[in-house]
Amino acid sequence: VTVTLELWRDAANDAEASCCSAHAVRLARSVAHRMGLPHFTLDLRAAFAEGVVAPFVADHAAGLTPNPCVRCNGDVRLDAMLAFAGRLGAADLATGHYARVSDDGLLRAAADPAKDQSYMLAGLAPASVARMRFPLGELRKPEVRELARAAGLPVADKRESQDLCFLAGTGKRAFLERHGGPRARRGAIVDRHGRRLGEHDGQHLFTVGQRKGLGVAGAEPVFVLRKDAAANTVTVGPREALATDAVAVRDAVLHRPREQVDRVKLRYRTAPLRCRAEAGEDGLLRLALAEPVDGAAPGQVACLLRGDVVVGHGIIA
């Protein structure tokens, strides 16, 4: 039995670029029927708007850089499909995510590091992972496309979406303004000493570690070091000022003892960093990195690892 989720519908989107639009549902249905499989659609637009889009908008207003895909996978869509599977009497849910499951029942990185999506699935509970299958976890993308071609599937050469599904060709700035988020508001770009270097249209348009699009010229490249949502200021400085070997994590969820954490991914497209996890008196999880990293953006997910196995997650504070 096949199932597709409709999560978002927006006239301003490019429907063909969205994996959760009515267009995507029609495409999935045609592929399923071509294979002789029954197809169902779950309308989760209300849950998605409340559980993913609303926090995305609020986090930007608060000066954070959120991970809506981690929230969506962990809180909205996959558990909804598992619940639907249960109602149908289906034991397992197979998805096209590039991930694997460890011998002790936890999420594990895919064999193809270039396509690994375990970071985006980090919010899943072990009980959910236990009912999931990841048939692409041992494969690389060209192999998957070749299998699809051999099966005569029309999606074999479908281009990949590089955008958040609910943006789908819509700029983040326009999306936030259209959905009640922060609007353009002139603010100062300052250096580490508070000296004014230029202006911007809103702190929500920047993220810690950003270099491009700052509109500030100088003798050397500058990067976003921090943001102040209340004052609407963006502080910039040289790359070396980003370096940190300590990261604080809030709302940490651990599936194994803290002592097993030996690596962390601080962003989706970055390599895991060796670390040691310590409990802070303030309730935060403190990560001591083996080597400095160029900035950790507040609001991003910290994916806590034991080797290539996901043993927990939290939010960078």
How distant is the alpha carbon of residue 38 from its chain centre?
Answer: 30
Instruction: For residue 274, give the 3-state DSSP assignment.
Output: strand
CA gap 217, 120 in Å, rounded: 35
Residue pair 296/286 in contact (Cβ under 8 Å)? The answer is no
Q: DSSP class of residue 242?
A: G
Contact of 249 with 285, CB cutoff 8 Å: yes
Residues assigned a catalytic role? 72, 165
What does each C-alpha distance from 44 to 47, 50, 53, 73, 75 come to in angstroms?
A: 5, 10, 12, 13, 12
What are the φ and ψ backbone dihedral angles of 245, each rounded to 5 degrees? -115, 15
Q: Residue 311 in contact with residue 255, Cβ under 8 Å?
A: yes
Closest to 78 in 3D by CA, of 114, 150, 146, 127? 127
Residue 215 half-sphere exposure toward CB, CA atoms < 13 A: 13
Alpha-helix runs per DSSP H in the chain: 22-34, 45-48, 54-61, 68-75, 77-88, 126-129, 141-150, 172-178
